[in-house]
Amino acid sequence: MENLQTILQSGTPVLIDCFATWCGPCKMMPPILKEVKDKFGDKIRIIKIDIDKNQQLAAQWQISSVPTMLLFKNGQLAWRQSGVVPAHQLIPVLTPML
């Protein structure tokens, strides 16, 4: 399996969906993320990270609520948003960053 740092440093922007299995709103994200992936294809990589299984990352990124989305570009955090963001709002935000 690829190392997260390697993935974040790659030239492809990475959208990370920080979620928890007990989080109701998090369950709304998969169809939204599928729509984003369908729109951008290989221009973006989407990864889901369970904050309960990755507490060190959650602390490092200061995730205090889920879902939280983080967009990394060339290893740098370019954008972050907490809460459910519908695809029709998410796509215009991501477009200039890809």
C-alpha 66/C-alpha 98 separation (Å) is 24
Residue 45: count of CB within 10 angstroms of its CB: 16
Write down the catalytic residue from 8, 14, 18, 26: 26
- Is 18 a known active-site residue? no
- Is 26 a known active-site residue? yes
Q: Residue 40: phi, psi to the nearest 5?
A: -100, -20
The two three-digit tokens of residue 4, written as one number = 């997260």
Q: Residue 44: phi, psi to the nearest 5?
A: -140, 150
Write down the catalytic residue from 4, 7, 20, 23: 23
Q: Which residues are catalytic?
A: 23, 26
